[in-house]
Amino acid sequence: MLAPLAGVSDAPFRLLCREQGAASVCTELVSADGLVRGNRKTLRYLHFYPAERPMGVQLFGSDPAVMAEAARIVCDLPEDVRPDFVDLNIGCPVHKVVTREAGAALLCNLPLLEDVVRAVVGASTLPVTAKTRCGWDNSHQNGVEVTRLFAGAGVALVAMHARTRSQGFEGKANWDMIRDAQAAVSIPVVGNGDVTSASEAVRLLSETGAAGVMIGRAAFGNPWIFRETRALLDHGRIEAPATPRERMEGCLRQLGLLATVVGELVAVREMRKHVAWYLKGLPRAATVKESANRATTAAEIEELLLSYLGRLESGEGCRVEEAWSEPVGV
């Protein structure tokens, strides 16, 4: 599964990941308050392509009544634009979320967390899932207790990012917490954290007994990690990494799709970080990244990437196979 990631997992990127084998995808975190108020920017996050299914909408908030109303809004959408499940964000570590007692802050207030979960499950006609962390900090790791709470309140699946809020995205993920959480409940637990390759995905499943694996940062600029993981899981086969041509063409396709959603100017600006990720590990790409950061049109980015690809494939400066001498991922 692709992890929902603020500022990254928009519809074009999710579509590319689904096409490469991700089992399901989910929106960026969506403010329940914004949804209830009808905020236009918030509503934009609900956009998805039919080919993304199964896909979910991830809600965050801390008011049980508002969260329930947001879930009803999502469930009452017309069938063709209605997602397949509602996901609860109980793990976001960023300051502006936790100061509203939402995201990972709910791990410190289990009575309120249970009220929120039960309100959403009661209001939703779609399956409800949850993404959480293993605790607030090293002294307060309550991931197993929280997973039991979810299961008891009617949540259908839990994704466990095996880091605490205080860790953010740093340090080693505690896969033992994933194992213990899955052993404690009968609903599926999906493991997340430190999955940087297909082999690591297989190792997580083997060591934890988790029902699935969720990939986040390692998919940045590399949706092909899902293709590689499926090949290893389903066939025991080591799949070759994406070629430089696949990467350039994937990046440009994502840019083109995004431009149709938010307009060319915004798309070019939002794609700058993605361009850097697609180029990661390729030789002598620094000047291309710098030029992409100054680009203002899609045509400029296309010219930059295709010109760079031409130099790679012609052998100018290095051989194409040397592009993969460094590990791929973030």
Distance, CA of 212 to CA of 90 (rounded, Å): 19
Q: How much is the pLDDT for 322? A: 41
Q: Based on the number of CB atoms within 10 Å of its own CB, is 3 exposed (0-12), middle (13-18) or buried (19 or more)? A: buried
User: What pLDDT score was predicted for residue 315?
Assistant: 78
Q: Which two tokens stand for residue 10?
A: 């928009």
The DSSP 8-state label assigned to residue 282 in this structure reads: -
Chunked mean pLDDT (size 10), the chain, 330 residues: 94 97 96 95 93 97 97 96 97 92 95 98 98 92 96 98 91 95 98 96 97 97 97 93 95 96 95 96 92 95 95 68 35
What is the CB-side half-sphere exposure of residue 87 using CA atoms within 13 A?
29
DSSP assignment letter at 104: G
Is the link from the previous residue into 54 a cis peptide, with omega within 30 of 0?
A: yes
92 is catalytic: yes
Cβ proximity of 161 and 131 under 8 Å: yes
What phi, psi does 237 have (nearest 5°)? -110, 135
Query: What domains appear along the chain, each with residue ranges and CATH number?
Result: 11-235 (3.20.20.70), 244-324 (1.10.1200)
Q: Using alpha carbons only, how large is the chain's radius of gyration in Å?
A: 20
Q: What is the pLDDT of residue 260?
A: 94
Residue written as token pair 């973030």: 330
Q: Which two tokens stand for residue 50?
A: 């039919």
**254, amino acid identity:** Q
Confirm if 267 and 298 have CB atoms less than 8 A apart. Answer: yes
Helix (H) / strand (E) containing 132 = strand 128-133
Cα 89 to chain centroid distance, Å, stands at: 12
Fill in the DSSP letter of residue 174. Answer: -
Structure-token pair, residue 120:
């959403």
> What is the separation of C-alpha 245 from the centre of its chain, rounded to a whole number of angstroms?
24
Q: Which of 17, 26, 92, 134 is catalytic?
A: 92
Supply the pLDDT for residue 316. 62
State pTM to two decimals.
0.91
Partners of 60 in the β-ladder: 31
Cβ of 85: how many Cβ atoms within 10 Å? Answer: 19
CA 257 – CA 259 distance, rounded (Å): 5
Residue 296 tokens read as: 């203002």
